[in-house]
Amino acid sequence: MLALLNNLRATVGKNALALNSNMTKLAQAHSDYQSAIKTMTHDDTKPLGDRVTACGIRWGGVAENVAYNSKTVPQVIDAWTNSPGHYHNMIGDYEIVGFGETNLYWTQDFARYL
């Protein structure tokens, strides 16, 4: 997923994102949560910014993409690319990213350092 995302970002002159292990744990936990409640949602026990702070990242901007039922990474990237809000997040001014997937509940979490 990182390679596809960074290839997309390169086409519009954006920096490559770095995969961050804390953001990946965060995104995976959110996919697990969505699967557990069987609902695609941005809602969780805390807002995204609080979740990013809790994993030790001092951030200046955050965003999240979620999806359900895409069977493959290329399919979910294509779905997000064709959705203006999700696309905006994928090409946004972020530095780090994490990904998660559980039972076809997908999450991308983005952050820019403070």
Q: Output the DSSP codes for 79-92.
A: HHHTSHHHHHHHTS
Percent of the chain with pLDDT over 70: 100
Work out the pLDDT band at 47, boundaries 50, 70, 90: very high
Pairing, β 59-68 against β 105-113: antiparallel
Q: Could you tell me which residues are beta bridge partners of residue 57? A: none
Q: Which CATH class, in words, describes the domain spanning 2-113?
A: alpha beta
The answer to whether the predicted template modeling score (pTM) of the entire model surpasses 0.85 is yes
What would the pLDDT profile of 57-113 be if each residue is shown by its tens digit? 999 999 999 999 999 999 999 999 999 999 999 999 999 999 999 999 999 999 999
Q: Where are the domains of the chain?
A: 2-113
**Residues, the chain, total?**
114
